[in-house]
Amino acid sequence: MGGLSSDLWQSVRLTIELAAITTVILLLIGTPIAWWLARSRAWWKEIVSTVIALPLVLPPTVLGFYLLLTLGPNGPGGWVAGLWGGRTLAFTFEGLVFGSVLYAMPFVVQPIRNAFAAIGDRPLEVAATLRASPLRAFWTVAIPLARPGFLAGAVLGFAHTVGEFGLVLMIGGNIPGRTKVLSVAIFDFVEASQWREANILAGGMVIFAFAVILTMTLIEKRGIRR
């Protein structure tokens, strides 16, 4: 394995970095959204929920196309990039993180929302009668009870980001070490007829996907047993 290009391992490392950062951001912003979706009685909450779920149905090329325009110098992304002297957020790691967060959001928000909804009002009411503040009840009651949802969301969000291709191809620019992630590297190796490298990465992805789905199933089973 030592003879393989450093390019290959660089793309593996970059992919893990991207997926990890995306997952952390999604847990941070996805949790309050999921909580609100699970508890709110606002009539328009299902509209918000639908917007979040859109990437489940849309081809990645739709998101890729719009991101190419919004991240570019004529869109808001260009303005943000201007803050540190850049021209565009496309072709940057930050741009990929932004795209991945949008793209993987439903995979994180939905399981957490379901887990919050499954708790019901009762445990929180009990906590309230024991004089726990709403915030304290959230931290000590809701979050521990929704643990399987968090686990499922984190695993799915991470896995989905690792598996993303169309979006990265469209806004990434294929820069080694910054935007050349695993799925794009596989595409490249196949195009260049470097099947040995393609095989290693693709085979690794199969094993990874297997492990993810198995983990998910085990988490679910444990959730039911409780």
Partner 1 sequence: MRLTKLVGLAAGIGAWVLTTTSVPAAETNVAVAANFTDAAKEIAAAFKAKTGHEAVLSFGTSGQFYTQITQGAPFQVLLSADDARPIKLIEDGLAVADSRFTYATGKLVLWSKTPGLVKGDETLKAASFSKLSICNPAAAPYGAAAVQAMKALKIYETLQPKLVEGATITQAYQFVETGNAELGFVALSQLTGPETGSRWLVPQELYSPIRQDAVLLKSGAGNEAATGFIAFLRGPEARAIILKYGYALDGQS
Q: How far apart are CA 70 and CA 74, in angstroms?
A: 7
DSSP state of 5: -
Minimum distance of partner 1 from residue 15's CB (angstroms)? 17
Nearer to partner 1, 146 or 169 (CB): 169
Minimum distance of partner 1 from residue 139's CB (angstroms)? 43
3-state class percentages of the chain: helix first, strand second, coil last, to nearest 5: 80, 0, 20
Q: Which of 134, 132, 205 is nearest to 164 (CA)?
A: 205
Nearer to partner 1, 121 or 191 (CB): 191
Q: How far apart are CA 32 and CA 30, in angstroms?
A: 6
- Structure token digits, residue 117: 């909804």
Nearer to partner 1, 142 or 169 (CB): 169
Query: Are the beta carbons of 26 and 108 closer than 8 angstroms?
Result: yes
Q: How far apart are CA 197 and CA 185, in angstroms?
A: 9
Q: Which of 35, 225, 40 is nearest to 148 (CA)?
A: 225
Binding residues for partner 1, rule: CB under 8 A, are 68-69, 71-74, 78, 86-88, 90-91, 169-170, 173-175, 187-188, 190-193
Minimum distance of partner 1 from residue 73's CB (angstroms)? 5
Nearer to partner 1, 195 or 210 (CB): 195
Nearer to partner 1, 190 or 212 (CB): 190
Minimum distance of partner 1 from residue 75's CB (angstroms)? 9
Minimum distance of partner 1 from residue 163's CB (angstroms)? 18
